[in-house]
Amino acid sequence: MRPTEDGYRHKGLRKKLVDIIAAKGITDENVLAAIGRVPRHFFLDSAFDELAYDDRAFPIGEGQTISQPYTVAYQSQLLALKPLMKVLEIGTGSAYQAVILAELGAKVFTIERQKALFDSNKQFALLRKYPAIKFFYGDGYQGLPTYGPFDRVIITAAAPDIPQKLLQQLRPGGMMVIPVGEGEVQQMRRLTKKEDGSYTEERFADFSFVPMLSGTNK
């Protein structure tokens, strides 16, 4: 069962979580404020009621996880969002990252390949507050060519290399934030598409994501 109550204790724990993430180096005030507003315990079973505010990833079923809040904040900060930007997210999972992006003013298009996780989000009452998020069931490697081009692309699973189709769906001047690597650890990268269609690449810290897989899972 999902919790539905956001009490003063949750709010207090959330404030502490924001302090922890800030101490780890997140400086974007908008990102910190968004983490402070969103009730992360709503995205987990009620068994995680208080644990939800630990800076840790947790299982959400189907062998998948809700990303660590620090990781969500890190990717969100690298995206350097402006309100009303069109963002493509690969790996909806719990929808926590998608909600943080919507809180930052983005129009979010998010794809999940696990049918059970996609279906579970249809029953998730909190998401009705976010008409700016559009949910898709499919293989993120294909992107959403008919909805693009996008200002930003964020991949929330470990990609063995840069998915070319997703780069193509990026607007000139747009950015992709993606953890790249085949082993246990991946390196966060940010690609910026130039007006002439070429890319610059920046490399950041190491993280550990579940793998980005091709095809869908019913």
Active site residues: 67
User: In what helix (H) or strand (E) does residue 168 lie, and over which residues does it extend?
Assistant: helix 164-168
d(CA 67, CA 101): 14
User: Applying CB under 6 A, does 64 fall inside the site for ligand SAH?
Assistant: yes
CB of 116 to ligand SAH, least distance (A): 9
d(CA 4, CA 195): 46
> Which one, 93 or 174, has the nearer CB to ligand SAH?
93
Scan residues 194-213 and list those touching ligand SAH (CB under 6 A): 210, 212-213
> Which one, 172 or 204, has the nearer CB to ligand SAH?
204
Scan residues 28-47 and list those touching ligand SAH (CB under 6 A): none
> Which one, 164 or 198, has the nearer CB to ligand SAH?
164
In degrees to the nearest 10, what's the CA dihedral of 109, 100, 76, 135?
-20
Q: Which of 68, 76, 77, 97 binds ligand SAH (CB under 6 A)?
A: 97
β-strand partners of 190? 177, 202
Residues 6 or more apart from 3 whose CB is under 8 A from it?
A: 41, 42, 46, 49
User: Applying CB under 6 A, does 96 fall inside the site for ligand SAH?
Assistant: yes
User: In what helix (H) or strand (E) does residue 22 lie, and over which residues does it extend?
Assistant: helix 8-23
Scan residues 66-85 and list those touching ligand SAH (CB under 6 A): 66-67
Q: Which of 117, 127, 144, 170 binds ligand SAH (CB under 6 A)?
A: 117
